[in-house]
Amino acid sequence: MPERLHRPWLHAALALWTLTAGLAFAQAAPAATAATDAAATAPVPAGSRSPALLYQQHCAACHGAQRTGLMGPALLPESLERTRPAEVLRVIREGRQATQMGGFAEVLSDAESAALADWVRAPVQPAPRWGEDDIRASRSFTPAPPDEPARPLWNADPMNLFVVVEGGDHHVSLLDGDRFEVIARFASRYALHGGPKFTPDGRYVFFGSRDGWITKYDLWRLRVVAEVRAGLNMRNVAVSGDGRWVMAANYLPRTVALFDAELNLVKTYAAATLDGKASSRVSAVYDAAPRKSFVVALKDIPELWEISYDPQAAPIHDGLVHDYKMGEAIATPGYFGVRRTPLREPLDDFFFDQSYRHVLGATRPQGRAAAGAAPERASAQVVNLDARVKVADLPIAGMPHLGSGITFAWQGTTVLASPNLGGGAVDVIDMQTWKTVRTIPTPGPGFFMRSHEATPYAWTDSMMSPTARDTLTIIDKRTLQPVAQVREPGRTLAHIEFTRDGRYALASVWEDDGALVVYDAQTLREVKRLPMRKPVGKYNVWNKITRSEGTSH
């Protein structure tokens, strides 16, 4: 695709964001005097300055006085929880290639670098705030030219596109799923998370970043339409089945934020109990299109929320309906109201059955076991959204990753198959009885599982295994037996997605100098390889908007 098609977008993005991938501790601006300049650049004896002072001198200009992010990403514990301490220290000392992040090995002593690395992983005191006024002030919007034609700038099937998130340098590639050629490549916000979400017509895609930014991108015209910062640390976003609403799940602040399709803020919800005495981080939000609602899981409170975007939604009665004072029985509107399902344990992530009547959720261990006690174990449960009650425990050992589960028909019933973060197996559950029908061995713990209606196979990785992260296991859905493996020796091979027709399966070589590998889904042979910068995920437009049984929400 000619460079002219996406260069204006890239220039606009760089001007808007001054994109700094990774931990972009940008060098401080030149000081006004020679003495100040020398003090800023000369090595300083260990212990003579506090990490807070070092941060203000060298980092605050790009990452904000409260570490909430400016040109560079936020440096908060919630943002860095998946970054190893050794990597934080390495970036401080060495910087990152192809970014504005320079290294500080010649500026800071080893002790100062280590202290700064520890400090940015500690909570900010006082805790930073991000309210509705901040959200509204952060929004940007670029209207389309009035005479612009409503058609793509490229020649490809708009329903067989792949959006490929490249975590290595924080870019997104738009891939033609028929020719397996890159149509365009553009810069993204730092650390996209939770998977992009598409409008029902497939034209627009919404990206969510860990730093709380939601970006609406026009896949046809190859440009950003709107952006807003929903929070300081965000888990994921969901788009309503009618394409009119967008909802964001935040860790910080502890809120759920609702927007219209142009990313105008509609309202925020405090992630708290009804009496307001306890609050929670928000684990995830997904759209339940047949129910015309968003379903929200709270990480620290044992509640599951359903927020309807149906104007005809039934009213909500919280509390004691027969209270003689009627104070707790007065209904609140069901339209965009919170309908709470009480649970015994919080849900970390979840999955819907095909009817969207049930939520299948996993609960992670909440803390370390006491000395001498057995280690805490993850659990899984089934919640009926109509009855608003847990109806079953799922017999899954280890740590199920239900957010990447798939469903398919098997011997007259529908089954769920889920990868497992804590063990080398895939559990297959009958969704009528909620009993295990098969435990399928894999070489090691996995994170992603995918299939498609047009293929008899399901693919799962073992990317959490130190010895088998290079292996994909192919399972026959008819026999529930592993039948083949594909490998990328010594590398991480993960995250399968299928073309619209299910004929080809695309896998990620999950490395900075990685690739997309295209396999024939029948013969399992490699047919093409495209170099990519750590392609952490790829998402087919058709499979996502039609809610293929083999893909995630």
Question: What's CA 417's distance to the chain center, in Å?
Answer: 21
Long-range Cβ pairs for the range 385-388 (8 Å, 24+): 385/288, 385/291, 385/295, 385/304, 385/306, 385/341, 385/356, 385/357, 385/358, 385/359, 386/357, 388/339, 388/340, 388/341, 388/342
- Strands across the sheet with 171-176, in order? 181-187, 171-176, 161-166, 535-540
> Could you give the domains of the chain?
51-121 (1.10.760.10), 131-158+189-313+334-365+378-394 (2.140.10.20), 418-552 (2.130.10.10)
Can the peptide bond before residue 126 be classed as cis, meaning omega within 30 degrees of 0? yes
Handedness of CA 520, 526, 531, 532 (dihedral sign): positive
CA distance 473 to 487: 9
pLDDT tens across the length of the chain (553 residues): 333 334 333 333 433 333 333 333 333 333 322 322 333 333 444 455 788 888 888 888 888 888 888 777 888 887 787 788 888 888 888 887 666 788 888 888 888 888 888 988 888 888 889 999 999 999 999 999 999 999 999 999 999 999 999 999 999 999 999 999 999 999 999 889 879 999 999 999 999 999 999 999 999 999 999 999 999 999 999 999 999 999 999 999 999 999 999 999 999 999 999 999 999 999 999 999 999 999 999 999 999 999 999 999 999 988 655 555 555 567 899 999 999 999 999 998 898 998 999 999 988 765 544 445 444 555 789 999 999 999 999 888 778 888 888 999 999 999 999 998 888 999 999 999 999 999 999 999 999 999 999 999 999 999 999 999 999 999 999 999 999 999 999 999 999 999 999 999 999 999 999 999 999 999 999 999 999 999 999 999 999 999 998 887 6
CA distance 76 to 71: 15
- Strands across the sheet with 471-476, in order? 449-450, 457-461, 471-476, 481-487
